[in-house]
């Protein structure tokens, strides 16, 4: 197990396939139920992709948070960017610095990969998450548009 960051009560390490069900539970708490049906495949896909990173936060022996990152090269801008795709901290661990430790590691990873910014899409209903991001130095950016492919 590679430990890549340690705070007083939490360690941040690379995710592994054995974390899949704990991540699925956190996704359910994040309003993404049903991930347990395919989570192992998605964790393997994330771990195998050279432009993605899966970080997990562990307190003692319990996985209490995770962050999924993707690094995206830019053609029109000098710096690339890092996208936080999914980020969740268990309710019991909030306020203990777990989210800040994960975000700090994401920033370190982004800088190491030549990124000049991190972006995250955070639904308007997630007001507490917005407060967290603002405390970490994020600013609101213009519109985010998407097209569903069915």
In a domain, 124, yes or no: yes
Structural domains in the chain (count)? 1
Note the pLDDT tens digit of each residue in 46-105.
Answer: 999 999 999 999 998 899 999 999 999 999 988 899 999 999 999 888 887 898 899 999
In a domain, 149, yes or no: no
**Spatial strand order in the sheet of 62-72:** 3-6, 11-14, 52-59, 62-72, 80-89, 115-120
Note the pLDDT tens digit of each residue in 110-124.
Answer: 999 999 989 887 667
In a domain, 148, yes or no: no
Q: Which domain holds residue 26?
A: 3-135
CATH of the domain at 7: 3.40.630.30
pLDDT category of residue 1 using cuts at 50, 70 and 90: very low
Query: Which residues, including other chains, have CB under 8 Å from residue 43's CB and lie 6 or more apart?
Result: 15, 16, 17, 19, 20, 23, 54
Note the pLDDT tens digit of each residue in 127-148.
Answer: 677 676 677 776 777 766 767 7
């Amino acid at each position: 197990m590679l430990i890549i960051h340690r705070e007083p009560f939490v360690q941040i390490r690379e995710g592994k396939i054995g974390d899949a069900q704990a991540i699925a539970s956190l996704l359910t708490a994040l309003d993404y139920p049903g991930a347990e049906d395919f989570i192992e495949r998605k964790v393997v896909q994330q771990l195998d992709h050279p432009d993605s990173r899966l970080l997990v936060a562990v307190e003692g022996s319990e996985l209490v948070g995770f962050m999924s990152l993707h690094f995206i090269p830019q053609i029109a801008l000098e710096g690339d960017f890092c996208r936080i795709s999914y980020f969740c901290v268990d309710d019991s661990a909030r306020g203990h610095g777990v989210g800040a430790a994960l975000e700090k590691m994401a920033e370190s990873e982004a800088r190491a990969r030549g990124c000049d910014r991190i972006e995250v899409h955070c639904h308007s209903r997630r007001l507490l998450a917005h407060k967290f991001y603002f405390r970490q130095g994020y600013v609101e950016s213009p519109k985010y548009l998407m097209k569903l492919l069915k």
